Amino acid sequence: MSQAVSQAHRLYLRRRRIRWAWVHLARWAVLVAVMVLWELAARARIVDPFIASQPTRIWETLVRLATAGDLWLHLGVTVAETVAGFVLGTLVGVGAAIVLWWFPFWSDVSEPYIVMLNSIPKVALGPIFIVWLGTNVRAVLAMAIAISVIVTLLMVFTAFREVDPNKIKLLRTFGATKTQILLKAIIPSTVPTMIGALKVNVGLSLVGTIVGEFLASKAGLGYLIIYGGQVFNMSLVMAAVILLAIVSILLYYVVSYLERQVVRQR
């Protein structure tokens, strides 16, 4: 009986490995097919390479940027600003959620204002940040934080309020303080939501960074996109967009790795 179960389990694992291999193969095949069709369409003038560029031109642009050293400069600036905005936005959002949970009266008072801030298009805040902070990295960070902090606050605070009230009553019955309730019941129960907020935040922080670089930056992938559009260099624009996609994927996988580590420890 155990041998039959073992064989069935091995067969199941083998099917999973085969499916995993086929999924990854299909992903790469789709990417290669898109690039090949894009290149062929540009060479056949089905699409205008001046407007849509083409993979070979994009590759030449990336090589030229890397050779000149500009690629690593702009890439490093965007990644550093995104990570800084991500960390600050997450800390501020979680901290604000804890404060609102700690003071229920003020959470009720601030609720309409939080909803209002969440509904405001954050791009509209760009000129304000530029006037207040100048055309520098501080304005870019402010934009990244503004886009991510409200979402974090709403997600985490909602999770705080949905913690099983019986757990809180039990801790209060044993004489637990508010700090102990927060550390022993509220935060442990909302770790999955916090991890979900991290996954959302990493994308929002990147969006905020790029928007900030559009408005107030002299370096970064957002600056390359704006500059390339102004001089009609679509190969530079497409190269920056592709790099942006790669950065977003890598940052997402970093957060996913941290999630697996936290879940494993729990």
Q: Are residues 59 and 165 in the same domain?
A: yes
CB 81 within 8 A of CB 148: no
Query: For residue 122, what is the DSSP state?
Result: G
**How far from 70 is each of 62, 146, 232, CA to CA, in Å?**
10, 28, 19
* Domain end residue (candidates: 31, 47, 63): 47
Contact 198, 129 (CB under 8 A): no
Do 149 and 17 lie in a common domain? Answer: no
- pLDDT tens-place values along the chain, 266 residues long: 445 557 877 888 888 889 999 999 999 999 999 999 999 998 988 888 888 888 999 999 999 989 888 889 999 999 999 999 999 988 999 999 999 999 989 888 988 888 888 888 888 888 888 888 888 888 888 988 888 888 889 889 988 988 888 888 888 888 888 888 888 888 888 888 888 888 888 888 888 899 888 888 888 899 999 998 888 889 999 999 999 999 888 888 888 888 788 777 76
Residue 78 and residue 35 in one domain: no
Domain boundary among 10, 31, 47: 47
Q: Which two tokens stand for residue 223?
A: 């600056």
- pLDDT at residue 1, as a whole number: 45
What one-character DSSP code corresponds to residue 136?
S
Same domain, 39 and 153: no
Q: Which domain holds residue 102?
A: 53-265
As a whole number of angstroms, the distance between CA 241 and CA 235 comes to 10
Q: Give just the sign of the alpha carbon dihedral 35, 38, 42, 45.
A: positive
Distance of CA 256 to the CA centre of its chain: 11
Q: Are residues 78 and 141 in the same domain?
A: yes
- For residue range 39-93, list pLDDT tens digits in order: 999 898 888 888 888 899 999 999 998 988 888 999 999 999 999 999 998 899 9
Q: Which of 26, 47, 68 is the last residue of a domain?
A: 47
Total domain count for the chain?
Answer: 2
Please give the DSSP secondary-structure letter assigned to residue 183: I
CATH number at residue 80: 1.10.3720.10
Give residue 59's pLDDT: 92
Task: Please tell me whether residues 36 and 105 are part of one structural domain.
Answer: no
Residues 6 and 74 reside in one and the same domain: no
- Are 3 and 64 in the same domain? no
71 vs 79: CA distance, rounded Å: 12
* Same-domain check for residues 39 and 157: no
Are residues 40 and 102 both part of a single domain? no
- Verify that 188 and 140 share a domain, yes or no: yes
- Of 92, 78, 33, which is closest to residue 212 (Cα–Cα)? 78
Give me the pLDDT at residue 200, please: 84
Determine the pLDDT at residue 48. 85
Distance from C-alpha of 213 to C-alpha of 175, rounded to nearest angstrom:
51
Give the Cβ contact number of residue 39 at 10 Å: 16
Asked whether residue 60 falls in the same domain as residue 22, the answer is no
User: Does residue 65 contact residue 239 with C-beta atoms inside 8 Å?
Assistant: yes
